[in-house]
Amino acid sequence: MAVLGHRDARSCYAGGVTISEKLDRLRAMLRELESVLVCYSGGVDSAFMLAVAHEVLGPKAIGMTAVSPSLPELEREEAVAVARAIGAEHRLVDSSEIEDPAYVANNPDRCFHCKSELYRLAAVKQREWQLSHLVNGTNVDDLGDYRPGLEAAKQAGVVSPLVELGFTKADVREGSLAIGLGVWDKPASACLSSRIPYGTSVTRERLSQVGGLERVLRAELGFRQVRVRYHDAIARIEIALDELPRALDAEVRGRLVAAGREHGFRFVTVDLAGYQMGSHNAVLVGKSLRVVS
């Protein structure tokens, strides 16, 4: 099936280029690529890329999701559901970055080692599936942040159509809405390893603790924008400010504390500053993330 239907989007961006025009340019670029493996996480950027690639190339566009202990279970489930709604071919492939000592050490370049494994694996599958190019969903708003994974993509020769065509995050969301993509307003996500402070090793057990508690917060307690930050015996929970009051409701608070202890945390805290995108990088001078809605 094609992407879920188009509407005429009339929003204009810098230079007077409409989102419809940008979409046409993206379609033209994908036609020139002829066939693509889309590195697809299920987030709005890669979902948008997969949707447009499927619209243009059909079975010559395949989404690949790397599955590892750092991928939240809910994200995997949602990625499968979104790809199914798009109608695109989607394949789950096991990834083994957790076996890499440089990744496990969790230094500030951890993301480089994670993405290097992703793109190594994607290159193997690209050849196996006889596709011409690897593409990702990186957009221009990603370029100014501290993202070591961008260097991994460069070294692997990954094509970033949204960067080449000047798509911002706002463009991606508007374009996703224009083509009827249901996740157009999905909050930003990140791998579970980003919940563990630099210098604290990444282990399967710690990823399971964080992922298990986040699943309760999202799937059972209904919080939409949430992070569980790992601090040994302490779970520091960041919740979007507009959702924060509900976390202090007596019943919800009790369930939250019980879930934290069930997942191996002795103490469960809620950060009064609320959810902060990129707070993981706050300890790195000059390398924190900018907030892009």
Is 52 a member of any domain?
Answer: yes
Mean pLDDT on 22-33:
98
Same domain, yes or no, for 36 and 148?
Answer: yes
Tell me: pLDDT of 12 over 60. Answer: no
> What's the pLDDT score for residue 280?
55
Is 207 a member of any domain?
Answer: yes
Q: Which of 3-7, 30-34, 83-87, 203-207 has the lowest mean pLDDT?
A: 3-7
Same domain, yes or no, for 170 and 134?
Answer: yes
* Rounded Cα gap, residues 236 and 106, in angstroms: 19
Tell me: pLDDT of 281 over 70. Answer: no
Task: Name 113's Cβ contacts closer than 8 Å, sequence gap at least 6.
Answer: 97, 100, 102, 103, 152
> What's the pLDDT score for residue 283?
54
> What's the pLDDT score for residue 126?
98
Is 133 a member of any domain?
Answer: yes
* Rounded Cα gap, residues 12 and 18, in angstroms: 4
> What's the pLDDT score for residue 102?
96
Q: Give 102-119 pLDDT, tens digit per residue.
A: 999 999 999 999 999 999
Same domain, yes or no, for 208 and 268?
Answer: yes
Is 197 a member of any domain?
Answer: no
pLDDT band, residue 277 (cuts 50/70/90): confident
Backbone phi, psi, residue 239, to 5°: -130, 140
* Rounded Cα gap, residues 22 and 176, in angstroms: 12
> What's the pLDDT score for residue 276?
84
Same domain, yes or no, for 252 and 137?
Answer: no
> What's the pLDDT score for residue 202?
98
* Strand stretches in the chain, DSSP E: 36-39, 61-67, 89-94, 133-135, 226-231, 234-239, 267-270
Same domain, yes or no, for 23 and 160?
Answer: yes
Please tell me the total count of domains within the chain: 2
CATH code of the domain covering residue 40:
3.40.50.620
Q: Which two tokens stand for residue 74?
A: 């809910």
* Rounded Cα gap, residues 51 and 59, in angstroms: 12
154: closest CA among 132, 130, 138, 170? Answer: 138
